[in-house]
Structure 1
Amino acid sequence: MGRPLPSTCLSIGHHDNQVSDVVIHYNGCLRVAKQGQFYDSLDLESQQRISRANGKIADLRSRLETSEQASTAGTRLQGFKQAMAEWRAVTGHSNVPAATNLGYSRSQTPRTPAFGADKPVDSHIRASVIYFKDGQPFDVPGLAKSSPHQKIPVADLLSENESKNPIMQPNENGVVRYFHLPANNMAWVEEVIARYYHEKRPDPNIRPDKQRSMRPESKTETVLQPGYWRGQQNFDAGSEVHARHMKPFFSGISVDPRGSGPRPKNMVLFMPYLHWETDRGRARSAEIAKEARKYDLSSIKDVVDQAKNQLARTETQHTVAPAWALRPHSFMSGSIDRRKALGQVLRSAATLLEAMDSHIEEQLTMSYLHAEPPLHPRRTLDQAYYGALRSTGARDRDQVVYRGTTAQPHPCVGPEACPQCNEDIRKTPRILMVDQLWLWCLDEKTIITSFPRRWGRNRPDPSAIHKSLRTRFQHAHPGEISSAYDLALIIVDEASRVFFNRTKISAEQPNLVELFNAAIRDLTYKQTAAFDQFLIYTHLASRDYKRQRYVSSDNSTQNHLLNINPEGELLKEVKDIQDELHIIMRIKEQQQAVMENFVKHIRRTLVPVVRAHRPITSRPSAVWDAVLEASLEYSGASAEDPTYHREEEERQCAQQTLTKADILLEDIEGRIAELRALLQNTQNTSAALKDLLTLKQQQAGVIEAREAVKQAQLTLKQGQSIMIFTVVTIIFLPLSFCASVFGMNATEFSIDARLPLSSELRLMFPISAGIIFASFLFAFSRGVFANSAIVLARSAASFAWNTAATWVAVKTGLYLVSREMLARANRLREKEGTVTGGMKAEVLRREKNLERMRAAGHVKALARQRQSAMRRTEAADGSSEPAGMVLTPFSEGIPSSSSPFLGERYDGMMDVELGERVSRKPSSQIHLVQGR
């Protein structure tokens, strides 16, 4: 029975054959026995699609199985085979026939061509070839698909075979050619430029200093001389891999040995631009770069051993059955084992798909990253600015784009996920990247570009630069691309407008400007809330002080006023946003500088062409047309002359190119202005946070002053108490001494006494002197002995007490009880702070409302008094105001009182100053106090 299907069906359920993707339906939904019948029922185009797709799968599978180097995709392919074999053994389907793969066979797998045999990846990566005629793209004979989607292997573009390499073939008149290399590989660029001039590639082993001293002997050496090529590299052998890049640069190049004057036809352009990547892709590319570094530093012995191990593992996997396959079937037939086996198959399939998607990039990195000349990998935003850092992983995951595209923790209530969690699970963390555009204009009709694509994008990428270019070429107007300058302007414009063209932002591509706006708005709101909360706690502390409510320094209000951690965290986030905006603006300014030089070169070349025929005007001029007709009659020329029409067409094309160049500069200026507005917003938020921190510091000084006053008062009270005790001691000390002496059991005072008074005094005074001396020694001595004795005594007593208390607490279970009570007390304290804070804010709001009600009642009374006065005035026929009444805008007709709004009966019931300040935003203050 039929049922609705998604855009691509991949289900074991029954459904009809009306699907949107016949390839996925054929390979993923149908059983093997039904594939042939479904294939025969399709039209020729669908059959060809299935054949091409299965041919690509066979080619990729053959490469993975026969790869000389150990690759991630090859290893995961073997893991998937093992998982499938285990699943078949568990389910009892070990003897399943192989799938019917229509349209290909193993013997038909294409082989690596002779050129580039040491770099097989060149034949697997495809370069774009687009030809333009009459301003629109047209199909190149001999290439698959239609323009502007025609591509050829990079190996063919590097080949010296002229029949197979289109860049070596002669160019037709009026045809503009465009060749694109999908990676910033310096070796490819040198080979392609050498093939264009039918020359040999310059020797890469010549040192740069010798290359500068040598005079170029060929056109290739002229274009690739150090000043235009390797001299613009901004890295050395000891730099990090992500530090490789070409300096922003533009220059015209003259390959004519006689010189071309001030307007050379050739030019070179290096320009950075912004793009994006998933965090998973960035991490994977960094891992492959590390592996390439290890492989580059490995010894010959390690490489040989690795190849032997790979060969032995491959032979074993194909000839020896795994140990678990020999187990009895009944042992692994349980439902738990079936679920485990199925989960392993799905997991292996997912990892294999990811590895297949990035297999070409992995092989490209392993082959060219440390070659001579090397490959330039993609860089993150922080790697482009902090090139000396060894690792920027932590900084990359602190980007605004990463935080804005990452799912945040969401506390759900209940076993089922909430809609927010279901939405967050679809989010993919993304980060900003800084790529490079390399562009060469080899003549007026040929352009070569080189810029990278996203990691592992073997499938179509709607956000890719070249995809946008192809879409723009498809909708090009007749005559829009009449020269290499028009094509170069479009390429530079597309590279510079990433994230700033709102009409082309795909679902996967992050909206840069909106993410930064959202982050700045969030920080501004938090700053405003923090300022309001600061005012609330400041007013609460001021009111407590006015009401003589002296509390200890651990009060929640004072702790909040003395804590700057929340504002410090906000200030750090603002600084991070400012840092990223500075980096982005720096890249845009570099683009602007390159574009200005590019436009200057275009003007020097095309302005003479425009001025040689007619002046540049914004609209047709009747006067100029009359002058032109007169000049034609005088010179004998005719408006029907083909030469005149050709020159007029060239002039119009040149004028259109100059207009496009001016628009390009205006657009980049507008983008920079937009970034400056974002930066200004962050600066305003940062200044407000700094002001808030300054206010907190000042409030902390006020609190310290109040605490000092309270401490001084307590000290004064203690001094008075000590003075009283001192006076009492002075009075009773002589009396106590006399009573003690005369109460002694001495023979002089008592008949029954045994010792005389002299003997008792000889014993009493030395003992007392010793005790007094020891007391003074321990009290006033700063020596090591006294301090050590005190510390030792305290430590011994503390050890004994702590040991005993700990033993009792552990043995009796008081420790657990105390922890539970402490946790409960902390929760109650937090709840008490929230409730009391809300009550305080509510009281303040009610006091303010009461004040407003009193003021409203006073206004009504004032109006009634004024009406009575007017009636008395009319009755007296123009008499003056009653005596004792002073009419002012605030107290007209009211007897003298202490307040213009409140009478004497309201004195002492309202803190007007406090109420007015606190009640500016009563609702927001209550929410902030309650922690909402």
Structure 2
Amino acid sequence: MAPSHSPSTCLSDIPHGNLVLDPVVHFNGCLPAAKQRRFYESLPRDSQERISRVHTKILELRQRLETTHHDSSAGARLHEFNQAMSQWYAATGRRPRAPYASPAKPGSSSWGSQSERYPPRQEAEDSVDSHIKAPVIYFKNGLPCDVPGLSKTFPHQKTTVADLLSEDPARNPIMQQTDDDVIRYFHLPANNMAWAEGVIARYYHDRRPEPDGLLHKSRSRRPQSKTEMMLQPGYWQGQQNFDVDSEVHARHMRPFCASISVDPMAAEPTPKNAVLFMPYLHWETDRGRFRSAEIIKDVGKRSLNSISELVDRAKHQLAHTETQDTTSAPWVPHHTVTVSEGVMSRKQALGQLLRAAAALLEAMDSHVEEKLMMEYLHVEPPLHPRRTLDQAYYGALRNTGTRDRDQVVYRGTTPQPHECIGMEVCPQCNEDIRKTPRVIMVDQLWMWILDEKTIITSFPRRWGRNRPDPSAIHKSLRTRLQYARDGEISSAYDLALVIVDETSRVFFDRAKTNRSQPNLVELFTAAIRDLTYKQTAAFDQFLIYTHLAGRDYKRQRFVSSDNSSQNHLLNINPEGELLKEVKDIMDELHIMMRIKEQQQTVMETFVKHIRRALTPLARSRRPGTATQASAAWDIALGVASLDAGGDSPYTDDTARHREEHQCQTARRTLARADTLLLDLNERIAELRALVQNAQNTAAALKDLLTLKQQQAGVIEAREAVKQAQLTLKQGQSIMIFTLVTIVFLPLSFCASLFGMNAAELNDGHLPLSDELRLMFPISAGIIFLSLILAFSRGVFTNSGVALVRSAVSFMWNTAWTWLWVRSGGFVVGRELMVTANRLREREGKVTGGMKAEVLRREKNLERMRAAGHVKALTRQRGAVEGGVGRGMASPASEGIPGSPSPFLVVRGRFGEGDVELGERGRKPSSQIHLVPGR
């Protein structure tokens, strides 16, 4: 009875029939109203409860949308849908019904009636905190257990964020007391700093700190409460990496992990509390990314407080009120239909209705996220929105929409344009309909371990995912915990390792077969493989065109060829585009590598904290049972084994078994921590392999561009040779013209001369034979001499030219010398030269004597200074050794200026000595040398 594929009218793409795999989608989107009740009654009880919960959720959401403001996206889309419904009823002639009157809940007595209305709305729960669910998971003695007072069962129990922030212990599960063997886990589905502060404060039964209060107290005095100790600026606000002037998408916490002592009086040797901030990779649809960016932009505009903007906003709202136009949300355009006849046709009304319904569905999905942005985006402390891959790396960019749509994942999941032959027969179009463009996002994991038994995490979900999301991180985490083995979660550290592993293994878990989540590794591998194929094809094409260009050159087809091969060889645009794509891939891979390296740093610090906390428990202190494996473990942990012969400190078997259980549990946790680091190293190695492949492709493209550049040089050389050959041909042509000119010019001259009929030429009656006898010899001589001078490059021509130059030079030099000597100028110049030489010699002697006198005076002064220094040195040595005699210098050797003696005689206790003052005397006083006397 179960078909192998879904019906053509079914909204669900999951194959189903009587064996329903998605009963909610099939019930709401596939079945007509007449068959819904029969189908509902045939379902098991859990499927009926699912359908009932979804209907209740839809009714509550519709109830909120009926009273929501029109300046919100959902309110505007609801108003458009009501108008479209009215137009549809008018076009079909049906009777309008009350807006959004829905069938009764499945299974009720009023099935199919239109009279059930929504219950009165409770304004007390209008806050967004009351509409967002926070999952709650409990473990007791290593086994899952249900939380009392919450609906559903493990691990699908949830409470609202408003309950977690409540100060009522009966309402707030985090404030309730539990046994010591219970491990609790609470998750906040958004990186909201206000939520995190409030939940941590409720855990310690404190009030939430005021904005900037923690920073002020940390500067003025030491924190006193446990909440203030956990939220010290160094562990919380000080790790924020943004300021007031930064872009909204620049908000994030620095990768960080540390253990915290909450005792305000004394520091704990092994703190039981820890905090962890870690980025990780996830994904989002391009539509969701665009919607979130538009809403963030709109919320930023609404947060401005200038008077002019307030006035403009008031005018805008007044205009919408008067015209009943509620399309103030800029991210969804309002589509109006102009009908000239007054009544819209059925096709137009149906198209308008379907468009409005799709817009309303999208607005309903993102209604909660929109309210969350409006309430917490620009408060203190703020909400951290999700970031794309480029926003996480280029935080200073104002808009990254263009870069986001240039991601490898976006290009790999976007339908490519093709030549279609019709929607009904084109399989590519049918396949492209199911494609949804997606982009890579960088989310943050915030995690706190409180007292080693309570874990609080905070990371975002995908935009507008009010419906179940199989690719959600927490959905995967709940599935993993649901099928966990007994005793696998024995401590808060075991659960924390599972959480960190799930956030780190996104896109790298081969066991997941979710079709909505993009396969990151496969998409990048396919992109690099495609570029490598194109690079290989470009290289082959380069070789082909190089061969064609060489063949054309050999065949001397320069004039007749169209040079198409050379044009392809000189065009580097295709290779440049490929290189740009490779660079983009490498850039994205480097960003992801950076995220993974940050994860590695945080995980290594977290594992160190786990080792510090669990190493004492991992030591086996039971005497006589230390095996070789436990001894090796103790050595690996740096723990000395105890003597097997000591006395046993245990007398109770229960305590001994508890100790052994704690030891085994601690060792298993440490082993899982090591495995987590190894798995992360494998993921980093996989990304490095992709980077290496991209680098190899980039290097091959660079080599191809280098070859093209070299080939361009070869083509330029060939073109130069071609131009040289053309120039040679042109020179030969000019040479022919020159020869013709040389031959015919004398003949023409002679013919013109004899054609003048001059009287001197035999009265103009010279016979032709005489003219020819005169013309040809004269012309032959002139032609012969011209040819010799024009074309002869031998020794004869060079010698003739040298002879002419020498003759001219001889005549010029002889004439000039004769004139210079005969006029007396040579004698006068000679005498002036002799006088000048004498003056130059005299000048040298005078200036040399003056310089020698100055140098002699400087030497005398140096001698006097050296003599005084030696005297002082002799006196100082005599005083040190206690001698009575003091060094006396001869007056004749005091260094009188002009004294020819180059030595200074010094007499004293040390005997007689000479101080050399020649050329050495010009040295500084610290380098004076004492030499023995003669």
TM-score w.r.t. structure 2 length?
0.72
Classify the secondary structure of the residue corresponding to 1:502.
Answer: coil
Distance 1:109 1:445, change over 3 A: farther
- Shift of residue 653 of structure 1? 0.9
Which stretch shows the higher mean deviation, 563-572 or 608-617?
Answer: 608-617
The answer as to 2:198 corresponding to 1:191 is yes
The residue number in structure 2 matching 1:60 is: 61
Distance 1:745 1:577, change over 3 A: farther
Alpha-carbon contact 2:275-2:448 (below 8 Å) kept: yes
| Counterpart amino acid of residue 504 in structure 1 | K
Distance 1:362 1:356 in 2: 10
The answer as to 2:123 corresponding to 1:108 is no
Alpha-carbon contact 2:103-2:116 (below 8 Å) kept: no
Alpha-carbon contact 1:68-1:307 (below 8 Å) kept: no
**CA distances 1:67-91 after superposition (whole Å, capped 9, x unpaired):** 2462112111111111111111211
Alpha-carbon contact 1:499-1:512 (below 8 Å) kept: yes
Alpha-carbon contact 1:613-1:651 (below 8 Å) kept: no
Alpha-carbon contact 1:113-1:123 (below 8 Å) kept: no
| Counterpart amino acid of residue 520 in structure 2 | L
The residue number in structure 2 matching 1:649 is: 661
The answer as to 2:240 corresponding to 1:233 is yes
Alpha-carbon contact 1:250-1:268 (below 8 Å) kept: yes
The residue number in structure 2 matching 1:143 is: 150
Classify the secondary structure of the residue corresponding to 2:283.
Answer: strand
| Counterpart amino acid of residue 289 in structure 2 | R
Classify the secondary structure of the residue corresponding to 1:440.
Answer: strand
Distance 2:547 2:326 in 1: 79
The residue number in structure 2 matching 1:697 is: 709
Alpha-carbon contact 1:128-1:179 (below 8 Å) kept: yes
Classify the secondary structure of the residue corresponding to 1:613.
Answer: coil
Aligned partner (choices 345, 363, 376) of residue 368 of structure 1? 376
Classify the secondary structure of the residue corresponding to 2:656.
Answer: helix
The residue number in structure 2 matching 1:858 is: none
Distance 1:655 1:601 in 2: 14
Query: Comparing both chains, which one has the higher relative contact order based on Cα–Cα distances under 8 Å and sequence gaps of 6 or more?
Result: 1
Distance 1:745 1:231, change over 3 A: farther
**CA distances 1:260-302 after superposition (whole Å, capped 9, x unpaired):** 4442111100000000111111111111111111111155445
The answer as to 2:299 corresponding to 1:292 is yes
Alpha-carbon contact 1:505-1:511 (below 8 Å) kept: no
Larger Rg: 1 or 2?
2
Alpha-carbon contact 1:212-1:225 (below 8 Å) kept: no
Distance 2:513 2:19 in 1: 31
Distance 2:741 2:588 in 1: 74
The answer as to 2:163 corresponding to 1:156 is yes
Distance 1:543 1:415, change over 3 A: same
| Counterpart amino acid of residue 367 in structure 1 | E
Alpha-carbon contact 2:214-2:232 (below 8 Å) kept: no
Alpha-carbon contact 1:5-1:19 (below 8 Å) kept: no
Alignment of 1:125-136 (within 5 A): 125-136=132-143
Distance 1:593 1:466 in 2: 23
The answer as to 2:17 corresponding to 1:6 is no
The answer as to 2:256 corresponding to 1:255 is no
Distance 2:554 2:626 in 1: 79
**CA distances 1:506-546 after superposition (whole Å, capped 9, x unpaired):** 10111111111111111111112211221222222223323
**CA distances 1:109-138 after superposition (whole Å, capped 9, x unpaired):** 552547xx6xx1111111111111122321
Alpha-carbon contact 1:544-1:550 (below 8 Å) kept: yes
The residue number in structure 1 matching 2:721 is: 709
Distance 1:604 1:58, change over 3 A: same
Distance 1:137 1:555 in 2: 77
The residue number in structure 2 matching 1:76 is: 77
The residue number in structure 1 matching 2:510 is: 502
| Counterpart amino acid of residue 56 in structure 2 | G
Classify the secondary structure of the residue corresponding to 2:485.
Answer: coil
**CA distances 1:716-742 after superposition (whole Å, capped 9, x unpaired):** 221222233234345555666787899
The residue number in structure 2 matching 1:662 is: 674
Distance 1:3 1:720, change over 3 A: closer
- Shift of residue 418 of structure 1? 2.5
The answer as to 2:551 corresponding to 1:543 is yes
Which stretch shows the higher mean deviation, 205-214 or 75-84?
Answer: 205-214
Distance 1:36 1:278, change over 3 A: closer
- Shift of residue 748 of structure 1? 14
The residue number in structure 2 matching 1:273 is: 280
The residue number in structure 1 matching 2:770 is: none
Distance 2:448 2:17 in 1: 52
Distance 2:722 2:353 in 1: 74
Alpha-carbon contact 1:85-1:94 (below 8 Å) kept: no
Distance 1:192 1:711, change over 3 A: same
Alpha-carbon contact 1:7-1:20 (below 8 Å) kept: no
The answer as to 2:452 corresponding to 1:451 is no
**CA distances 1:587-611 after superposition (whole Å, capped 9, x unpaired):** 0000000000000011111112222
Alpha-carbon contact 2:138-2:183 (below 8 Å) kept: yes
Distance 1:616 1:316 in 2: 77
Distance 2:472 2:23 in 1: 26
Alpha-carbon contact 2:70-2:76 (below 8 Å) kept: no
Aligned partner (choices 213, 218, 226) of residue 225 of structure 2? 218
| Counterpart amino acid of residue 563 in structure 1 | N
| Counterpart amino acid of residue 238 in structure 1 | D
The residue number in structure 2 matching 1:560 is: 568
The residue number in structure 1 matching 2:688 is: 676
Distance 1:180 1:721 in 2: 93
Distance 1:354 1:284, change over 3 A: same
The residue number in structure 1 matching 2:527 is: 519
The residue number in structure 2 matching 1:598 is: 606
Distance 1:71 1:738, change over 3 A: farther
Aligned partner (choices 690, 694, 700) of residue 688 of structure 1? 700
Distance 1:352 1:417, change over 3 A: same
The answer as to 2:397 corresponding to 1:394 is no
The residue number in structure 1 matching 2:175 is: 168
Give unmatched runs, 5+ long, in structure 2.
109-114, 328-335, 635-640, 762-934
**CA distances 1:227-252 after superposition (whole Å, capped 9, x unpaired):** 00111011111111111110000001
Distance 1:176 1:475 in 2: 17
The residue number in structure 1 matching 2:854 is: none
**CA distances 1:545-580 after superposition (whole Å, capped 9, x unpaired):** 233333478501111111111111111111111111
Distance 1:623 1:424 in 2: 56
Which stretch shows the higher mean deviation, 509-518 or 408-417?
Answer: 408-417
For the aligned residues, what is the CA RMSD?
Answer: 3.7
Classify the secondary structure of the residue corresponding to 1:144.
Answer: coil
Distance 1:664 1:715 in 2: 76
Classify the secondary structure of the residue corresponding to 1:454.
Answer: coil
The answer as to 2:205 corresponding to 1:204 is no
Distance 1:290 1:514 in 2: 34
Distance 2:260 2:583 in 1: 43
The answer as to 2:582 corresponding to 1:574 is yes
Which stretch shows the higher mean deviation, 127-136 or 287-296?
Answer: 127-136
Classify the secondary structure of the residue corresponding to 2:552.
Answer: helix
| Counterpart amino acid of residue 100 in structure 1 | P
| Counterpart amino acid of residue 543 in structure 1 | R
TM-score w.r.t. structure 1 length?
0.72
Alpha-carbon contact 1:112-1:123 (below 8 Å) kept: no
Alpha-carbon contact 2:79-2:326 (below 8 Å) kept: no
Distance 1:53 1:606 in 2: 45
The residue number in structure 2 matching 1:825 is: none
- Shift of residue 205 of structure 1? 4.0
Distance 2:514 2:253 in 1: 29
